[in-house]
Structure 1
Amino acid sequence: MKQPIAFLLFALASILPLHAQLLTPAAPAAAARQPLDRIVAVVNDSVILQSELNDAVRSIQQQYASQPGQLPPMNVLQQQVLDRLVLMRLQLEKAEDQGVRISNEDVDQAVASVAQQNKLTPDQLRAEVEQSGSSFAAFREQLADQITVQRLHQSVVHDSVSVTDSEIDNLLSSPTYKAGEVHLAHIQISIPGGADASAIQASQAKAEQALAAIKGGMDFNAAAIRYSDAPDALDGGDLGWRRMDEVPPAFADTLESMKPGDVSGALRGPTGFHILKLIDQRQAGRKMVTEFHARQILIAPSDLVTPAQAEQQAHDLYNRIVNKHEDFAALAKEYSKDPTTANAGGDMNWFAQDQWGSIIAKQLDGLKDNQISQPFQSEAGWHILQRLGTRQSDQTVQLGRDQARLAIGNRKADQAYDDFLRDLRANAYINILVPELRDTDNQAAAGTSP
């Protein structure tokens, strides 16, 4: 099965319907064949069942079927998976409290997107899911949960994250600013909020234990699965490619002295200890963009002009320009209904190809300089387009500012949502009922009740 589907199927097994109930006692003979389900955790007013945990763990084992050695001992794996189930349950409950609602149309679009990524039709995707032994209805519910959490994330960071021009200027002029991109993996050992010296020391000891295991030959991804308490732990801690200006400055200084394949020491951050692996790096290059200079006439339907009349008028104007050699700019001033270009004789100035939309971009590709297009239709109406010229524009500076704005925004968003999740867990009632599933190192961080 293709990776995106496999990933989503893993996520599917991690979250079952919130209305799941305890199994009713079966007859003695049936009970002998099938163990009674039990509650393994209470999360506020809901519960997580042993069957949910078993399904999620089984899905992880299937995901790593070709590399079983990367998985930690069963009790650690169960703790990791249960922690993910708890965190997802808390986010879904918070989203419900905030009135986040997902429609069937939203889920249909997500299904279509997953199918397209895997070069399948939605019907073929359904067959793939069911062939793997999963329920397609549950698959759709998992997609709905993912969309719900995305919208909760957007809601949380929307009002708390803003980026000013002065912040961009400060970043770009800072002596600590570093260009280029890095592919990172990490292990995070969190420090509980309000932790005392002994709790901080315990987190540091766990980080040093993970570092010793890596130095002793354990694969970094396997160590992340075993030791990290970050949400991406079960994915091997892979952070993907990030611009250096997205990395906290203290970590960026460490990365600057590392080579691909190197692993850092245990670095203290605002929320805990981090171990970084530099997988690869690449330098940022200059960004050259092809820009077009063009002008247009737009004939738009209105209360007084029917769509058919607008089309006819566009063809009449095309004939006057091409065959009668009338002035394009003069006709644009007189007839064009585009408020941004009509008074300038239809001049659209210099612009990147996709700036005016995909329909105009496609027309530009088919024209030579000074050539006039046949009338064509867009949502706005009927267009006549003349391509006047092209040039290569160095957008490195502007791109750098855009990327700096994005980096600052992403960093603030990550911190804001991380703080939100820490508060969410700290204020939740979480009771792990099965002693062997309690992670004694992180119970305080998770807000777990005894």
Structure 2
Amino acid sequence: MNFRSYVLSTLSIAAALLAVAAPASSEEVPLDHIVAIVNEDVVMSSELEERIKEIYFRLKESGTEIPPQNVLVPQVLERLILEQLQLSRGQRAGIRISDEELNQSIERLAKSRGLSMEDMLEEARQNGIDLGRLREQLRNEMIIKRVQDGFVNQRINISEQEIDNFLKSEEGQQWSSPDVNLGHIILTLPAGAPRDQVAAVEQKVRELYEQLQAGADFRSLAIANSSGQNALKGGDLGWRKTTQLPSIFITAVDKLSPGEVSVPIRSDAGYHLLKLYERRGGGEKIVVQHHARHILIKPNEIRTEEETKAMLEGIRADILNGADFTELARENSEDIASSMAGGDVGWSLPGQFVPEFETVMHKLELNEVSEPFRSQFGWHILQVTERRQQDFSEDIRHQQAENILRHRKYEEELQLWLQEIRDEAFVEIKL
């Protein structure tokens, strides 16, 4: 039996297993082998099979129609190839995710589903999903997000003139923009694609649009056809501020009523279809600002995660026993920008810090010293010395304008970057 036949057979078995929630131990374990060579790395048949199982589980759980197997398998393999390319870059950049960070991420995911971490992992185990592989996949997703943020953000330049133009525009003066819950399908086109390739993609996107107008399930078509990062999640983008959408999407979304699908939209990355699931409006103009200071210590080749955390616990104990935070920050903090100021990072602006930092900052009582916590930069302890409610100042308006413009450019720049690294890679499919 060739591998394609084997995978299709495995998919049928996996679907049946999921339907009856049979334990993984009842399955036969086939011999593992290579299904794709990606530069110096490989994708194994076990990775492909496990990812297909997980997708079946998610589709079954959400009640989404399952696409044909001969469509799903190549789509999943292509996603694994792109992931491998990004993980290789993360490895070269020295990006690491600690077990503590991973557990926190799993807890947040479980909480969003109304479950404890233990209950969610047990549910996955009962549905035949290997827990070790699940943890590794979540770790990889976190690494990939950091790789994307690092590589894509450095490609995005927001000039002062762009910010000024935005602030002077009618849109820039209306900070209360509605939130929209969107689905997204993208059919990508490489730069300089020949005319026949463009025509083929145009024909395909028209056919998809007609199917959707006739009542086809958007999520199923996204899984089967989209090249977007969220394709295997049914193309769901989740809730977004309309001002954070790419400019070419805003006009289209404004014309949609909940449940409607946009006409095909052309961009430099290809053709897009959008579905508006829900719309809700308005953001508050008053924000809570924090005046904070922190001490950052980074793991390195001679200091492990555990040793770094223990070092910060010792510094925190000294502060609680009366030592001066400012002096200890100057002596120990590896945040060059703030260490000379005694760890002072000033008054916060919305979205200024990474999510882990802002989460702790919001929870702390005034002058309380946090327990050590991990971010992508290393281990921190944090203290909030003042807190105030503030209307949008010029600094806040400027920062928010820059964030909005960056968000607009990010999604499209991400698709272009992914297309570039895929085109540059040596990939050999061995199905």
**Same fold (TM > 0.5):** yes
Q: Deviations over 1:58-117 (max 9, x none)?
A: 221122225666221111111211111111111112222x332425xx132221342255
Matched, 1:181 2:173: no
CA distance in 1, matches of 2:322, 2:45: 68
Say whether the 8 Å CA contact 1:214–1:220 is kept in structure 2.
yes
Aligned pair in 2 of structure 1 residues 270, 130: CA closer, same or farther (>3 Å)?
A: same
The correspondence for 1:118, drawn from 110, 118, 124, is: 110
Tell me what 1:360 maps to.
366
Question: How well do the aligned residues superpose, as a CA RMSD in angstroms?
Answer: 4.2
1:167 maps to amino acid: E
Q: Secondary structure at the match of 1:77?
A: helix
Alignment map for 1:219-230 (pairs within 5 Å): 219-230=217-228
Is 1:414 the counterpart of 2:402? The answer is: no
1:45 aligned onto 2:51: no
Which of 90, 100, 124 in structure 2 is aligned with 1:108?
100
Say which SS state the counterpart of residue 60 (structure 2) adopts.
coil
Gap change, CA 1:281 and 1:238, over 3 Å in 2: same
Q: SS where residue 64 of structure 1 aligns?
A: helix
- Tell me the distance in 1 between the aligned counterparts of 2:93 and 2:284: 45
User: TM-score, structure 1 length as denominator?
Assistant: 0.62
Residue in structure 1 matching 2:392, options 377, 392, 395: 395
- Distance in 1 (CA, whole Å) between partners of 2:322 and 2:71 is 72
| Residue-pair matches, total | 334
Partner letter of residue 204 of structure 1?
A: E
Question: CA contact under 8 A between 2:259 and 2:278: conserved in structure 1?
Answer: yes
Pair 1:99-2:96 in alignment: no
1:426 offset after TM fit, Å?
0.3
- Segment drifting more, 271-280 vs 37-46: 37-46
> Structure 2 vs 1, CA of residues 62 and 131 (structure 1 numbering), >3 Å: closer, same or farther?
closer
1:317-357 deviations in Å (ceiling 9; x for gaps): xxxxxxxxxxxxxxxxxxxxxx99xxxxxxx99x99x9999
Report the Cα distance in structure 1 between the residues aligned to 2:154 and 2:323, rounded to whole angstroms: 44
| Identity of matched residues, % | 30
Q: Residues 282 and 35 from structure 1, CA distance in 2 versus in 1: closer, same or farther, beyond 3 angstroms?
A: closer
Greater Cα offset, 267-276 or 401-410 = 401-410
User: What is aligned with 1:64?
Assistant: 59
- Superposed, 1:83-232 pairs within 5 Å as 83-96=78-91, 98-102=92-96, 106-115=98-107, 117-118=109-110, 130-175=125-170, 179-232=177-230
Q: What SS is found at the alignment partner of 2:272? A: strand
For each residue in 1:252-281, what CA deviation from the matched residue of structure 2 results, as whole angstroms up to 9, or x when unmatched? 122222222221111111110001112222
Q: 2 CA distance for matches of 1:145 and 1:156?
A: 16
2:270 corresponds in structure 1 to 272
Q: Which protein shows a greater Rg?
A: 1
The 2-side partners of 1:56 and 1:181 are apart by 32
- Measured at CA, do residues 211 and 88 of structure 1 come closer, stay the same or move farther in structure 2, by a change above 3 Å? same
Q: Secondary structure at the match of 1:85?
A: helix
Q: Distance in 1 between matches of 2:178 and 2:398?
A: 14
Give 1:192 deviation, angstroms.
2.4
Unaligned runs of 5+ in 1: 1-12, 14-32, 293-304, 312-338, 341-347, 363-377, 435-450
Inter-CA distance 266–306: structure 2 relative to 1 (3 Å threshold): closer
Q: In the alignment, which of 414, 423, 427 is matched to residue 426 of structure 1?
A: 423
Number of the residue aligned with 1:447: none
Q: 1:251/1:146 Cα in 2 relative to 1: closer, same or farther (>3 Å)? A: closer
Give the counterpart letter for 1:41 in structure 2: A
Alpha-carbon distance change, 258 to 94 in structure 1, aligned in 2, over 3 angstroms: same
Whichever residue aligns with residue 212 of structure 1, its letter is E
Query: What per-residue deviation string (whole Å, max 9, x for no partner) do you get for residues 23-68 of structure 1?
Result: xxxxxxxxxx876555332222333233332222122112222566
Paired residue secondary structure (2:366): helix
**Alpha-carbon offset, residue 124 of structure 1:** 6.4
* Paired residues of 1:100 and 1:152 also in contact (CA < 8 A): no
Deviations along 1:231-268, one digit per CA (max 9) or x if unpaired, are 21111111122222222223212222222222111111
Counterpart of 2:39 in structure 1: which amino acid? N
CA distance in 2, matches of 1:87, 1:247: 24
